[in-house]
Amino acid sequence: MRRARLNRHAKVVATLGPASSNVAMISDLILAGMNVCRVNMSHGTHEGHAQLIAGIRKASAMVGLEVAIMLDLQGPKIRVDKLPDGLELKEGDIWVVGPTKVQQDYPEYKGRFIPTVYDHLVYDLEDGVRVLFDDGLIVAKTVEKDRDIYKIKVSVGGTLKSNKGINLPDSRVSAPSLTDKDHEDVLFGLGQDVDYIALSFVRKKEDVLKLRDLLNEQNRNIPIISKVENPEAIDNIEDILDVSDVIMVARGDMGVELGNHLVPAVQKKIISLCNLRGIPVITATQMLESMIENPTPTRAEASDVANAIWDGTDAVMLSAETASGKYPLEAVKMMGSIITEAEKTPKERPSIKAFDLTGVDDATMIGASLIAEKIGAKRILSVTQSGTSCLKMCRFRPQTSVLGVSNLLSVVRKMCLFWGVSPFNLKDYDEDNVELERHVIDKVRISCELETGDRMVITRGSGKFFARGTSNSIKTIVIE
């Protein structure tokens, strides 16, 4: 399993939940190929999440492999409120939708009132726009506003139950992307030393900057994953890329609001833009959905994962498959197997001319990638204090696996998401040791099962071995 992790380029993100929250299962998932653990803040309590995160760190230490932890914020998800008996919405019926707090003010609509937890819903609507319930399974259109409520006419009926989502694909939602709950969850996550924070329902760059400001106030530099999942975000994608560390193509709500038929093309476009900018991108939602109930995926699901790899995604994500499914371990193994097979198909690498390259470190990373391929090196060893050099390296999609070596645990964990990079934590070292490089090589040789005669390319900065700064040197060695 360790060798498979080293030789696989794309990474696996897995959501942890009731089916995968004990230390033994988490250990198995890490050994099976899970690189990033997603903690979903839409469910559970801070106490429960703290126990889960402690379990992740314990499992990681037990198996001797680091993983990153992604804290996924709930965001302003618009939902139906409590409906004890559900509501049967039929085609052609007229209903009203509005905040729960005003329901008692409209006794004339008793039995026809759809309560929502979102107080500003009515102010985001206008006549003739769609209102979708339960991931688009129930469709209605607004008719007219009546003070604090809106009349809607059902075009596709169904049974509506408590807490189901509401989507407004034709409207601009005014709810802040970073809610009060998200604010509390961010502070909780910082206290738990999470490695990434995912911001849900990003619509414009200002949404990302609000989270960035909060992190700056806390003097923390945690990478932000912007989840692109609605038409407004797609329209503003270039601006969002300017301020994001990672992008997630969140295909669930995207499919509901755009239409499933448009998702594949949008996915390809976003991945391509991220690849050109060197921004890691995660493809998510329903990738192996049938494995919630079944031990193997459908052929279509396997093809979906493979095509995401061929599109150029840095990582693929499992949601309910590992959080609440019957076969979490099998799902991670299957994801890894599909990635491995997909990566055997040669993919044309983007031309260097396509990138905006100006720095010495860019040139160093390109040079190291090309040299490694020309001499048949088994590994590229990149010494880094921030992870930036490894991130730049994977932008060029080297065919040689990269070992990102750092003495900082936070950097090692961050690199778990980077395409083609295997993080290596050098815990015990003497900065003034003139034989430090040899010490690192000996450690790496054992960990990566390198043999005498294998070639390796080393990139690092000038000065002390772990000095922060520009990577500006390339060295080739033969393992003795």
Domain 2-76+176-342 CATH class label: alpha beta
pLDDT band at 365 (very low <50, low <70, confident <90, very high): confident
Q: Is the pLDDT of residue 75 over 70?
A: yes
The string of pLDDT tens digits covering residues 301-320 is 999 999 999 999 999 999 99
Mean pLDDT lowest for which of 219-223, 279-283, 382-386? 382-386
Q: Is the pLDDT of residue 107 over 70?
A: yes
Q: Is the pLDDT of residue 2 over 80?
A: no
CATH 2.40.33.10 positions along the chain are 87-167
Percent of residues in the chain assigned helix, strand, coil, to nearest 5:
40, 25, 35
Q: Which of 200, 77, 99, 93 is nearest to 138 (CA)?
A: 93
**CB contact at 8 A, 346 and 40:** no
Q: Is the pLDDT of residue 449 over 60?
A: yes
CATH 3.20.20.60 positions along the chain are 2-76+176-342
- Report the chain's mean pLDDT, rounded to a whole number: 92
Q: What are the beta bridge partners of residue 227?
A: 248
Query: What local confidence, expressed as pLDDT, does residue 396 receive?
Result: 87
Q: Is the pLDDT of residue 456 over 60?
A: yes
Q: What are phi and psi of 195, to 5 degrees?
A: -100, -25
- Domain 352-478 fold is Pyruvate Kinase; Chain: A, domain 1 (3.40.1380)
The residue type found at 98 is: G
Q: Is the pLDDT of residue 7 over 80?
A: no
Q: How much of the chain, in percent, has pLDDT values that exceed 90?
A: 73
Query: What local confidence, expressed as pLDDT, does residue 166 receive?
Result: 94
**CB contact at 8 A, 308 and 320:** no
Domain 87-167 CATH class label: mainly beta
- The mean pLDDT of 4-29, rounded to a whole number, is 92
Q: Is the pLDDT of residue 98 over 80?
A: yes
Query: What local confidence, expressed as pLDDT, does residue 383 receive?
Result: 87
Residue appearing with tokens 């097979």: 341
Query: What local confidence, expressed as pLDDT, does residue 441 receive?
Result: 83
Catalytic residues: 38, 79, 227, 285
Residue appearing with tokens 């003495």: 407
Q: Is the pLDDT of residue 351 over 80?
A: no
How far apart are alpha carbons 360 and 403 in whole angstroms?
20
Mean pLDDT lowest for which of 31-35, 67-71, 72-76, 343-347? 343-347
Q: Is the pLDDT of residue 3 over 60?
A: no
The string of pLDDT tens digits covering residues 34-59 is 999 999 999 999 999 999 999 999 99
- The mean pLDDT of 343-354, rounded to a whole number, is 76
Q: Is the pLDDT of residue 92 over 70?
A: yes
pLDDT band at 460 (very low <50, low <70, confident <90, very high): confident
Query: What local confidence, expressed as pLDDT, does residue 457 receive?
Result: 93
Mean pLDDT lowest for which of 38-52, 291-305, 314-328, 451-465? 451-465
- The mean pLDDT of 14-41, rounded to a whole number, is 98
Mean pLDDT lowest for which of 278-282, 403-407, 439-443? 439-443
The secondary structure of 367-435 as a DSSP string is HHHHHHHHHT-SEEEEE-SSSHHHHHHHHT--SS-EEEEES-HHHHHHGGGSTTEEEEE--S--TT-TT
Query: What local confidence, expressed as pLDDT, does residue 353 receive?
Result: 67
The string of pLDDT tens digits covering residues 237-272 is 999 999 999 999 999 999 999 999 999 999 999 999
Tell me the C-alpha to C-alpha distance, in Å, between residue 285 and each of 119, 250, 267. 28, 6, 12
Query: What local confidence, expressed as pLDDT, does residue 433 receive?
Result: 52
Q: Is the pLDDT of residue 179 over 70?
A: yes
Three-class SS of residue 134?
coil
